[in-house]
Amino acid sequence: MIDAGWGRIINISSSSAQSGAVKMAHYSSSKGGMIALTRTLAQEFGEYGITSNTIPPRFVHNTAMSNESFERDDMKAKFQEMIDAGPIRRHGEPEDIAGAAAWLASDEAAMSPDK
């Protein structure tokens, strides 16, 4: 990427990195580490035309992780509660994340000084 003078680093984090999540200290802390890594890479490689971003989804359904979680009896009741607690009152879909990643990978997201 340095030799090419162009590159995109896109990491997936989680909103739990900022808010925490009950019984998920390991998950939340690892996602917080992902945010710190992403910010560090942005500072280290930005001058070479390499962007580094993280997408921190709040609640994405229809993924292996969410499907497994919401099959548990203790989580079934929380499904609608989690949707209602969010700003857009719906869960995300994998396509929502894919769209954000596609844009971040594009030239339109370059944030280069020559734009």
- Catalytic residue numbers? 27
With contact defined as beta carbons under 8 Å apart, do 9 and 51 qualify?
yes
Q: Write b or e for each residue in 24-39: b if 16 or more Cβ atoms lie within 10 A of its Cβ, otherwise e.
A: eeeebeebbebbeebe
CA atoms within 13 A on the CB side of 24: 16
Compute the chain's Rg from CA coordinates: 17
What does the alpha-carbon distance between residue 106 and residue 90 come to, in Å, rounded to a whole number? 27
